[in-house]
Amino acid sequence: MARHLMLRLSAPLLAYGGETIDNFGVIRDFPALSMLTGLIANALGWDRGDADLHDRLQARLRVGSRLDQPGTRLTDFQTAQLGAKDNGWSTRGQPEGRGGGAATYESPHLRYRDFHADMSTLVALRLEPADEAPTVDDIASALDKPCRPLFIGRKPCVPTSRLVLGFAEAANVLAALQSWPHLSNRPGKALRAQWPEGEGDLPGDRTLDLCDERNWRSGLHGGWRPVREGTVAVQERGA
């Protein structure tokens, strides 16, 4: 049996980002490994330039997620006329400028961003090796008292409640997702889930190749990892 940290990702709007093309920011159904790595690193107070720390954490994570409340999708059309002296807010407390020449200020800045509305996702994670720093206890403490404000995918996506639910002893990530009750305590409800290959299997599940790992030194995503998707039924007792 292994110890898994259980999290609840819930917000009026959240974004499990996919491949951004031009000014279109799309979303996926499940949180990416890179997103969860960044969320934890932000809570720990790491700088984005700490590439080795991010890469090592990402390599150690064994993560699965379950859609307890799928919510709905919406597309936000964003437009802003930005001047050369306009600055944007950042989580570092320092204003962000805008690059480019004078011509970049002649037209409004247009983009489309997809969001999940009223979604709630259960996440089970552990680290391998478990005794290397940071441990799951370090991560739980950091998420409860983060060094910087936390957001789920994009800056406007602020969590509505505590992320940390507790710990589950389970043989693998899938078993941890199966063992944790539904947020509305509805036993037997079939819920979509995704978990790493080698972390359990279910009748009728399917294997996918997923590109959601980030090279934190270059800032680009690359490579493929196998995951499984299927439906799980939750237990009867309350959390």
Domain range for 24 is: 2-75+110-233
Name the nearest CA neighbour of 115 among 175, 158, 51, 62: 158
What value, to the nearest 5°, has the Cα angle with vertex 33 and ends 129 and 130? Answer: 10
Instruction: List, in sequence order, the alpha helices (H) in the chain.
Output: 33-44, 51-60, 136-144, 173-179
Residue 197 lies in a domain: yes
Side-chain-side CA neighbours of residue 167 (13 Å): 14
Please give the pLDDT value at position 188. 62
Contact of 229 with 209, CB cutoff 8 Å: no
- All residues at 6 or more sequence positions from 137 whose CB lies less than 8 Å from its CB, including other chains: none
Residue 119 lies in a domain: yes
- Report d(CA 187, CA 233) in Å as an integer: 7
Is the pTM higher than 0.85?
Answer: yes
Contact of 184 with 38, CB cutoff 8 Å: no
Please give the pLDDT value at position 93. 62
DSSP structure class, residue 128: S
Domains contained in the chain, number? 1
- Report d(CA 146, CA 128) in Å as an integer: 23
Residue 95 lies in a domain: no
- Report d(CA 11, CA 29) in Å as an integer: 15
Residue 7 lies in a domain: yes
Residue 91 lies in a domain: no
Q: What does pLDDT average to in each consecutive run of 10 residues of the chain (239 residues)?
A: 97 86 79 96 94 97 96 87 68 61 72 90 98 98 97 92 97 96 73 97 95 90 92 66
- All residues at 6 or more sequence positions from 185 whose CB lies less than 8 Å from its CB, including other chains: 238, 239
- Report d(CA 144, CA 142) in Å as an integer: 5
Please give the pLDDT value at position 236. 53
Please give the pLDDT value at position 192. 96
E-only strand ranges, 106-233 = 109-127, 164-170, 190-196, 206-210, 214-215, 220-221, 225-233
Contact of 188 with 8, CB cutoff 8 Å: no
Residue 81 lies in a domain: no
Please give the pLDDT value at position 175. 97
The sign of the torsion formed by the CA atoms of 89, 91, 93, 94 equals: negative
CATH number at residue 200: 3.30.70.2660
Residue 169 lies in a domain: yes
What value, to the nearest 5°, has the Cα angle with vertex 107 and ends 106 and 109? Answer: 130
Name the nearest CA neighbour of 164 among 192, 180, 141, 130: 141
- Report d(CA 231, CA 184) in Å as an integer: 17
Please give the pLDDT value at position 110. 80
Contact of 200 with 66, CB cutoff 8 Å: no
